[in-house]
């Protein structure tokens, strides 16, 4: 995320404390705010990364605009800053309708930063980092990544049901589940009630059942309220309620692991089906 002036005191403290800490910019206003401040500590300069728009159109400078080159040169020539490199995020890879479409977006992502890095080099600005990344484009990369120095896929180590549907991974590659307990049976409605609402898994993926109920392809989450969810048969056939006793646990592979994980204070890690650790989340920004 591009930095804003209110975060600069904290960023200066981190720059002083951490061996290598970078801030992201995509506008001259941010650069002006950084360069108005003194070097963070003992003359240690700001390490600045420029966000490049690779076609996602969420943020980033236009790599075809000469003003982007001029902004990079201004950073590189500043006595209190170092131009570390360029960064992009092919988030539109999530809109790919097929693996081939995602690969095409990955090619565009690569070309945007590699070509811009070459343009900067021609202007006398070097890039120690030329970064690309989104889970779909890193899972289905282009034929080559020549000129790219790093990849930063967001939920690559977790994956989720959305990534399965995008062709980024297989169901067995998804490393996260949200556990929920069955708290009610309603035969007249052909419905099972669970104690997981959108506060437990997020409201994303309604059209995909909010995820996949592990081991129960015959079930589907049809509705999520705030604190509970309604589970019905995936094909509308009558449920055998004896198979789903009240108090038993269902394990849901979430539609989006980033959003579902953020709903909780911590993650329990399992090995051979047993809890072996707990990871506390870093929250806020």
Whether the model pTM is above 0.85: yes
Domain covering 5-154, topology: TIM Barrel (3.20.20)
Please report the pLDDT score of residue 100 as a whole number.
Answer: 95
Beta bridge partners of 61: 52
Tokens of 239: 């449920």
Evaluate whether 61 touches 51 at the Cβ level (below 8 Å).
yes
Residue 67: pLDDT above 70? Answer: yes
Q: What is the dihedral of CA 165, 170, 176, 182, to 10 degrees?
A: 70
Residue 41: pLDDT above 70? Answer: yes
> Which residues of the chain form CATH 3.20.20.10?
5-154
Residue showing tokens 């690969």: 103
> Which residues of the chain form CATH 2.40.37.20?
172-280
Please report the pLDDT score of residue 285 as a whole number.
Answer: 59
Q: What is the mean pLDDT of residues 238-248?
A: 97
Tokens of 124: 């006398």
Please report the pLDDT score of residue 38 as a whole number.
Answer: 84
Q: Given CATH 1.10.3080.10, say whether it is the number of domain 172-280.
A: no
Evaluate whether 30 touches 3 at the Cβ level (below 8 Å).
yes
Give the tens place of pLDDT for each residue, 162-195: 999 999 999 999 999 999 999 999 999 999 999 9
Tokens of 55: 């076609």
């Amino acid at each position: 995320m591009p930095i804003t002036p209110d975060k600069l005191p904290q960023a200066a403290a981190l720059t002083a404390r951490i061996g290598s800490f970078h801030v992201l910019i995509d506008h001259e206003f941010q650069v002006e705010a950084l360069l108005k401040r003194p070097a963070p500590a003992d003359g240690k300069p700001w390490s600045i990364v420029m966000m490049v728009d690779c076609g996602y159109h969420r943020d980033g400078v236009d790599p075809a605009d000469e003003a982007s080159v001029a902004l990079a040169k201004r950073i590189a020539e500043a006595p209190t800053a170092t131009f570390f490199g360029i960064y992009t995020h092919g988030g539109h890879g999530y809109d790919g309708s097929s693996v081939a479409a995602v690969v095409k977006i990955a090619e565009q992502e690569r070309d945007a930063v590699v070509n811009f890095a070459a343009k900067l080099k021609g202007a006398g600005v070097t890039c120690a980092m030329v970064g690309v990344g989104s889970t779909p484009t890193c899972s289905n990369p282009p034929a080559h990544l020549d000129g790219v120095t790093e990849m930063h896929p967001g939920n690559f180590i977790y994956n989720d049901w959305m990534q399965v549907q995008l062709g980024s991974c297989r169901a067995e590659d998804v490393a996260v589940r949200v556990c929920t307990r069955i708290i009610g049976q309603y035969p007249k409605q052909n419905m099972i009630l669970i104690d997981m609402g959108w506060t437990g898994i997020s409201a994303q993926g309604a059209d995909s059942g909010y995820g996949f109920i592990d081991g129960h392809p015959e079930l589907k989450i049809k509705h999520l309220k705030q604190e509970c969810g309604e589970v019905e048969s995936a094909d509308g056939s009558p449920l055998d309620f004896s198979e789903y006793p009240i108090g038993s646990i269902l394990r849901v592979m979430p539609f989006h692991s980033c959003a579902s994980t953020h709903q909780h204070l911590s993650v329990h890690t399992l090995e051979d089906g047993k809890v072996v650790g707990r990871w506390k989340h870093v929250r806020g920004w």
